[in-house]
Amino acid sequence: MKEEVKSGHASTRNVLITLKPQQTCQDAIEIRSLYQRLTPGEYSLQVERDLPPELGKGIVESNTIKVTVID
């Protein structure tokens, strides 16, 4: 695995969805828009977002996924 690298890019999408217990939500983020060129190898990706002020303070983190970039 490669060392942790933060993209330094912030997504300004403002998405607020209220979920009931046991409900889930999915979203897609184009990795190519965050990095110009990823060298072949294995990477772990995780997204984190600050909670909106109306919901208090804190950070929401996604599950970590592993991807393999090939030539």
Asked if residue 40 belongs to a domain, the reply is yes
Q: Could you report the per-residue pLDDT of 34-45, keeping only the tens digit for each?
A: 777 778 899 888
Asked if residue 42 belongs to a domain, the reply is yes
Asked if residue 28 belongs to a domain, the reply is no
Parent domain of 41: 35-69
Q: Ramachandran region of residue 23, left (φ > 0), alpha (ψ -120 to 50) or beta? A: beta
Query: Average model confidence (pLDDT) for the chain?
Result: 79
Asked if residue 11 belongs to a domain, the reply is no
Above 90 in pLDDT, residue 51? no
Asked if residue 50 belongs to a domain, the reply is yes
Better pLDDT: 20 or 13: 20
pTM given for the model: 0.56
Number of folded domains in the chain? 1
Asked if residue 14 belongs to a domain, the reply is no
% residues pLDDT > 90 (the chain):
13
Instruction: Tell the burial category of 13 from Cβ atoms under 10 Å away from its Cβ (0-12, 13-18, 19+).
Output: exposed
Better pLDDT: 22 or 47: 22
Asked if residue 43 belongs to a domain, the reply is yes
